[in-house]
Structure 1
Amino acid sequence: MTSPAARTALDLTADLPVPALEDLYRDLHRHPELSGREHRTAARLSERLTEAGYETVDGIGGTGVVGMLRNGDGPTVLLRGDMDALPVAEETGLPYASGTPGVMHACGHDLHVTWLTGAADALAAGRDTWNGTLLVVGQPAEETGEGAAAMVNDGLYERFPRPDVLLAQHAAPGPAGLYAHSPGLIMSASTDVDIVVHGVGGHGSRPEATVDPVVTAAYIVTRLQTVVSREIAARESAVLTVGRIEAGTRHNIIPSEAHIALNLRTQSAEVRERMLAAIRRIVAGECAAAGCRREPTVTVGGSFPVTVNDADTDRRVAAVHGEVFGAGTVLDFGPVMGSEDFPLLAEGGLPYAYWFVTSTPAEVWDAAGSAAGGDLMEQLAAVPSNHSPHFAPDLATVGPGVRTLVSGALEMFAR
């Protein structure tokens, strides 16, 4: 038997203006904006929310937008979509490709805003089917991990009611038409680490008079590869990435410093601390072995928290998605190593559900399958992923992505 939330969601989204939503998506994709600079995107969302009857406030936490629709007594449900793009040069060849050099919606946030807009319109038009307060949040600066905290710190929950539950979703690679839920840990923590090796610079013809930080940095990078493989138990999940190594200005100058930038992905505080301790030990040891006259500088920088769904909330949303989209469309592929700042909107332990909407076009997925010879993991690795210059979600997901939010919200209003 189909639940009332699923039946109502199907009714409210039966006549979605999909062509108009696709036009909105193309416009957002053509005009990407970096983290904290989402002025045009925010203005478009704000305009749409106001037209739909929401009380709308702009500029929260920088460029954040919130629309509120009060609709009698009932729970307060928050729907969130992130708005920022990435410093990636687009290579999709799409007719609506980015018009901003070096900036691209390579993570699907343009699709997220489109879904959010469609859901806000549908729920406003169907307000006779639910009771409560709906908060629609356009969040800036997710890619830098700053936007959610900035909105909360700017008085989000002083200006608006604290939600009883929060919902969010993300476009992901995989054959379009699947909805990935995990009733617990679904995304990992991320931690940035910056290292400075202090050597002694000099002329390239007299290396004996220097302490070469480039060579030392190379040893550090190599040795860091053993942190996960030799210091973290096989049952744990962790990733250490050297994202940048930088030193020197000319061929014949031995520099005085080398800079290394790392990113860690972990799923527990214990593993994170173990990795940080290993990094500090390795860096200090290699610098001592090289004869560096100053101790290295190791700075732990920005971080994202783990994303842990409230189990009951996620199961309810997953169940209604299964009813809306049919058998075999909802799956649990477990936690991924990607990271999100969405949990920071759930200040104080508010329950939330976060899920993925697969969005790879069928022809791209099928071509990757042929090349992979039937190996599913190779096929998944072969399609453009988030942050790729070739990332191009299937426009066929526009309507379904609206239905996921509408059905999830209706299920939460029914609690």
Structure 2
Amino acid sequence: MSSDPWGRVDETGTVYVRTADGEQVVGSWQAGSPEEALAYFERKYEGLVVEIGLLEKRVKTTDLSAKDASAAIDHIREQVDAHHAVGDLEALKVRLDKLVETVDKRREERKQQRAKQSDEARHAKEALVVEAEELAQSDQWRAAGERLRALVDTWKGLPRLDRKSDDELWHRFSHARSAFSKRRKAHFASLDAQREEARRTKERLVGEAEALSGSTDWGPTAARYRELMAEWKAAGRAQREHEDDLWNRFRGAQDVFFAARSSVFAERDAEQTENLKLKEELAEEAEKLLPIGDLKSARAAFRAINERWEAIGHVPRDARPKVEGRMHAVERALQEAEETEWRRTNPEARARAAGLTGQLQAAVDKLRGQIDQARAQGNNAKADKLERELEGRQALLDQALKGLEEFGG
């Protein structure tokens, strides 16, 4: 018979292992010596020790699931409970029990972790839904569309929730995207309609602009082109493939007209500059008639100058007041001379002037006689009063005499 601290072999070859509950039969050994029997079953024990050690390591260092770990523990425990090895089986049971505790702890940690991840995923998806619903009302079509596509990618990277919650949130998220897509489609459909209307309007404007490009009615045509430009701006943009071509035609028609007008105006400006030079020479010639001496010859000379003046065309607008003012000054001098001559040679006016002068002279003579009489009577107060009245009548008489002189009287 052979034995060691954890087992023995009896004389019949039966192998026993010592446990807390007493000896347990391990098996029967008939192939060799009792020592070989104990060594065989001790090796089986060492195999269990190694297997448990490997499982402990996997549980601690890998992501072995709790289910798989429990299955592995149960498998080893069955072997330990079957008493098919010689060794400290109780120590193995203790290690297995601790391993169960570790697995249970890991299971709870993972459960809490999954709950936390699920909660975080729920909040994250709810936040995505809220943002998507806000974006669904946006008119920033490109930016909002790009952001919604990014939200989809973010959604795909998040863990799934329970089916009901995930489906409800996805329904809201999907509905927001669909609403935005529907609004954007309607917007661009409306925009396309507006651009088509703008294209038709601008084709009409181009047609009129091209028809006017050969006009020589410079003022009204230029004004109409300004109106066409205002209508063009108010029409909005046409489709991109039409806009540039229509604008080039519209602008080209205007360029043809305004280039022709500029050429004509340049010629006109040169002609008006020459006209100004000629009129300045005539104004200088007219100014040499001043002061008026012989009214008849001055009038004839001015008439001849004015005929040559009228034959000359327009001058630059900004120079017109000055040069015309010089001619008007000479013309006013002639008119004043004519009025003076008319008064001088008008018999009725001369008679009225002579009559007024005679009346004033008689009044003055009468006042002088009254003054002399008052002085002689010693009535100086009356004489002083009459002298003041005489001063006024004398002034009127002097003025009348001066007017009479203009008639050569």
Q: TM-score, normalised by structure 1?
A: 0.16
Q: TM-score, normalised by structure 2?
A: 0.16
Between structure 1 and structure 2, the one with the greater Rg is 2
**Larger RCO: 1 or 2 (CA < 8 Å, sep 6+):** 1
Structure with the largest fraction of helix: 2
